[in-house]
């Protein structure tokens, strides 16, 4: 049975089609998972999860790329999701992205408070910011800054160049810093409004007392 025939049968719900696709691609998927986890047992679990998702989503495959390219991306996304659930995100945005140029430095707004020094770079705020990153930025950021993979390994896992990996990481860090500064500003605005409201409440009895004294 050819891959094309197996895909057609699998999309029709035929178990034989699914089995053939597993035979054709399970070895490569397992090797990919093993490179990402360095743990055979975890790699096996991720492989099974990847094919479970394949079986559920095979009807969405349109043949615009090779099946393994589609399956590769599906597998990477599953692994990245597992990484995020398993480990807290604790990194420093002050470290240069090492793009090979002097421009690859963190952007710090003159006169603005640093979210790290303000105690706002916590797991909740950082996770929210990471979730807002474009897909490619988020993948590289998690693999490099959360999981500790080198750019060469990331390039191999995601299927692009080392330079692209470095560029994506740099842009991810710049975007994250911007998002975190906006979070800091938002917190500051909320605190200021709360303080103004509290001061307004305190002033009202005083004003009433003055009116009463005049009467």
Region 67-94: what's the mean pLDDT? 76
Q: Are residues 106 and 207 in the same domain?
A: yes
110: which 2 tokens? 């003159």
Report field, pTM of the whole predicted structure over 0.85:
no
User: Rounded CA gap, 141 and 100, in Å?
Assistant: 17
For 9, the domain range is: 1-86
Of 86, 103, 124, the residue at which a domain comes to its end is: 86
Report yes or no: 98 and 106 within 8 Å, Cβ to Cβ.
Answer: no
Mean pLDDT, residues 46-63: 90
> Do 181 and 198 lie in a common domain?
yes
What mean pLDDT do residues 102-111 have? 43
**What's the pLDDT score for residue 113?**
43
Q: Is the pLDDT of residue 87 over 50?
A: yes
Residue whose C-alpha is closest to residue 172's, from 149, 139, 150: 139
Confidence of residue 185 (pLDDT cuts 50, 70, 90): confident
Neighbours of 55 (CB within 10 A): 16
Question: Of 35, 62, 86, which marks where a domain is finished?
Answer: 86
**Domain end point (choices 40, 63, 86):** 86
Q: Are 42 and 33 in contact (CB under 8 A)?
A: yes
36 and 141, same domain (yes or no):
no
């Amino acid at each position: 049975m050819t891959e094309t025939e197996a895909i057609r049968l699998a999309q029709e719900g035929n178990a034989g089609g699914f089995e053939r696709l597993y035979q054709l691609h399970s070895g490569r998927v397992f090797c990919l998972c093993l490179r990402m986890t360095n743990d055979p047992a975890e790699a096996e679990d991720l492989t099974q999860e990847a094919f479970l998702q394949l079986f559920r989503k095979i009807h969405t495959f349109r043949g615009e790329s090779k099946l393994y390219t589609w399956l590769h991306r599906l597998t990477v996304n599953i692994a990245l999701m597992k990484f995020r659930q398993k480990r807290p995100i604790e990194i420093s945005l002050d470290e240069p992205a090492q793009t090979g140029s002097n421009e690859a430095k963190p952007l710090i707004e003159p006169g603005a408070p640093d979210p790290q020094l303000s105690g706002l770079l916590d797991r909740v705020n950082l996770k929210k910011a990471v979730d807002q990153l474009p897909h490619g930025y988020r993948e590289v950021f998690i693999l490099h800054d959360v999981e500790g993979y080198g750019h060469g390994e990331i390039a191999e896992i995601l299927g692009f160049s080392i330079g692209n990996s470095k560029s994506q990481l740099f842009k991810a860090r710049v975007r994250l810093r911007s998002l975190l500064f906006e979070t800091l500003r938002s917190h500051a605005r909320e605190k200021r409004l709360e303080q103004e409201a509290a001061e307004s409440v305190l002033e009202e009895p005083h004003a009433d007392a003055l009116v009463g004294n005049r009467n």
